[in-house]
Amino acid sequence: MHVGEIMSEEIHYLQVPGNRLNALSLMREKNISGAPVVKSGTKKLVGIVTRSDLVENPDEEQLALIMTRDPITANPDEDVVEVAKKMVKNNIRRVPVVENHELVGIVTSYDLIEHALSKIEINLPVKKYMLRNIPTTWEKTPLKIAFEIMRYFNLRVILALGDDGNLSGILTEVDFINESEIVSERTVHNTSVGTEGDKWSWDSKNVLYVIKNHLQFSDKIVRDVATTDIVTVTTRTTVTECANKIKQKNIEQIPVIDVEGELVGLVRANDLIKAFND
């Protein structure tokens, strides 16, 4: 199967020159977590930007300085297995599709699962591909704290636990960004210089203004924002069964429980596509 058969041809893209607000507005409007960037007035691909890029660069406004330049790409005739390898190797979830140096589509790890992996009979258990070290937090934790926990694990998802310690919800990076805004904070630093013992001397004062941007969250707690209609799989669920659940529910990750119903891991679309090579 070739990339051209499964790629999305309806592309939500950004242009340079452009800015942070352009990117954030598009991502919120289309409910996407990343977009290719082209040169204004053309379809020439020059980069790709994700919500993570926006979060990690709060002080930068120009899109050209936030985006990742020279992104990994594919062509329409490339085999989907090769694209899956690129995603796994580079730890990315989306690959722009380019033909004759122009953007013609985009393929994501979800596309690979929906159109390819879900149609292949792979009886290996998801236990082989799941993440075992995953971030969890109490469902009454403030969003800011939960976000920092998620970042510590370098993941884009965190699981919420209720008072009983059982799984009660799931939050993604998209949920956090939708409940936040970039705010500016100014600090003033003064330094004075004078001539000691000279009553006629003038003191000179240097004033340094430092403006720093940071992400500010609403006052909500995890429970207010988390998705509570949770789909799970067990450690014995096959790759094909898991792929079909992801496809049916239009999601990118599923918590994994053991036979006793205890949370033991998480499997993401990016983890599951590793099965293409097994």
Give per-residue pLDDT as tens, 129-144.
999 999 999 999 999 9
Instruction: Convert the pLDDT of each residue in 155-170 to its tens digit.
Output: 889 999 999 999 999 9
Same domain for 161 and 109, yes or no, is: no
Q: Tell whether 132 is covered by a domain.
A: yes
Instruction: Convert the pLDDT of each residue in 93-147 to its tens digit.
Output: 999 999 988 999 999 999 999 999 999 899 999 999 999 999 999 999 999 999 9
Same domain for 93 and 28, yes or no, is: yes
Please state the φ and ψ torsions of residue 36, each to the nearest 5 degrees. Answer: -70, 155
Same domain for 141 and 268, yes or no, is: yes
Same domain for 134 and 98, yes or no, is: no
pTM of the entire predicted model: 0.80
Domain that holds residue 139: 126-179+219-277
Q: Tell whether 43 is covered by a domain.
A: yes
Tokens of 81: 């297995």
Domain count, the chain: 2
Q: Tell whether 196 is covered by a domain.
A: no
Same domain for 58 and 164, yes or no, is: no
Same domain for 133 and 95, yes or no, is: no
Same domain for 51 and 154, yes or no, is: no
- In terms of DSSP bridges, do strands 253-257 and 263-268 run parallel, antiparallel, or are they unpaired? antiparallel
DSSP assignment of 206-240 equals: EEEEEEEEEEEE-S-BHHHHSB-S---EETT-BHH
Same domain for 66 and 163, yes or no, is: no
CATH code assigned at 63:
3.10.580.10
Q: Tell whether 209 is covered by a domain.
A: no
Same domain for 136 and 224, yes or no, is: yes
Structure confidence at residue 202 as a pLDDT band (50, 70, 90) = low
Same domain for 79 and 135, yes or no, is: no
Q: Tell whether 32 is covered by a domain.
A: yes
Contact 120, 97 (CB under 8 A): no
Q: Tell whether 25 is covered by a domain.
A: yes
Same domain for 133 and 262, yes or no, is: yes
